[in-house]
Amino acid sequence: MEILLNKVDPNIPQLKRFITTSAARELSALSTPCYYPKTKKFYSELLYLLKVTDKDIKEFVKRTYKGTKAEKFKLPNDAGTSILVFIMHYFLIKRDQSAFSTTMVYFMVIQYARLMYKQIQYCHEDTFKYTLDTLTRTHLFFREKSIPNSLYYLANQMQSNYAKDIKNWDVDRIIAFLSAARTRISQSVKSFARSYYSNKKSGAMIKTQGEISDDESNNYQYQVLEKGQKIVDDIAKKITSYKVIDMKAFEEAKQISKIKTSIATLIVNGVTNEKHFNNVKMSLQLFIKEAKSVDMVCGNEFYTYVKRMMAIKRTVAQLYFKAQINILLIEILKEVGYLKTYEKYTSQTQFIISSFLAFYLTIMLRRSICNT
């Protein structure tokens, strides 16, 4: 380890930016059926950012696992895998927990992609979507509501169980980590692939709303809204810790609110600050709390619901969605040095800006809950 640590000379801001941007981009894109993250170019980019060679990494791998049970195992000897584990160690010894966490998420994304390329090489979108919608309730992709959420969940588990070992470079425990991470993803991917090929063979089609009974519909509504409460915390973390910027949500919120692109960009970049975690979480919790039906989140009623929530002028409640959005907005504007300019705007322009933030956050949540 010391040999490689002495060789690397990273531009830390660039390294963090590359990993954060890559993880955010791939998590967002994974909401698209049949999307598999790219797994080839990231390795050469990381070599460049660390200022080392492929030979340096391969020699590091040989030194690390020589004489261990993993000396000839495929995964530990994979250079792309090893460089990401090394970067996790590097960030941990630099006491950069956030960068370590983001690297762990990206590590899980890469492992998922490699397995999916192997299991489902030629993907049919309708079958893929149908399979996601009809998985058993115990399947990870169903339980966590989406593939991005599932990888994010697994990354959090791996952090909790192995962060100390990666920091201390306990080789036996790192081998255990690699095995555990790969196994957890592999189990879910293989199970999904079996269902996918079964559905493809039978020609199963996606159910329409009309095929669902009233009892099933009510139960479904409860499950969706309950799941929304559970994933609010994850969404808040993705935005503030992993710096995820959802470009589809950005474009849709911008179009609805009619906000200037420059101001919208300022806000979505500004909200990706860890100090805004509690305010983002509270805003989304209040949004879900007031939803009386799944249509308010996943159906056509969504847009009217958000507008109605943002139009409230008087309420006996001390905490409500519009007020929390405005609290968050002011904190963002303070942080980016734009508050004085904002205060000079007309009330109409201020409302446009707050509406953009409300739609951006709730569309992000909607996309995660409803798989839109």
Specify the higher pLDDT residue, 39 or 205.
39
Specify the higher pLDDT residue, 45 or 226.
45
Q: What is the pLDDT of residues 127-169, one digit of tens each?
A: 898 888 888 888 998 888 788 888 988 998 999 999 999 999 9
Counting Cα atoms < 13 Å in the Cβ hemisphere of 205 gives 4
Q: Are 5 and 89 in contact (CB under 8 A)?
A: no
**For the chain, which residues make up each domain, given as ranges?**
2-205, 214-370
Measure the CA–CA gap between 198 and 213, rounded to whole angstroms: 25
Q: What is the pLDDT of residues 179-212, one digit of tens each?
A: 999 999 999 999 999 999 988 887 754 443 334 3
The mean pLDDT of 238-243, rounded to a whole number, is 87
> What's the chain's average pLDDT?
86
pLDDT at 286: 87
pLDDT at 230: 63
Max distance between CA atoms of the chain, in angstroms, equals: 70
Angle, alpha carbons 169-151-180 (nearest 5°): 45
What's the whole-model pTM score?
0.63
pLDDT at 298: 83
Does residue 319 surpass a pLDDT of 80?
no
Measure the CA–CA gap between 156 and 154, rounded to whole angstroms: 5
The mean pLDDT of 23-34, rounded to a whole number, is 83
Measure the CA–CA gap between 134 and 199, rounded to whole angstroms: 10
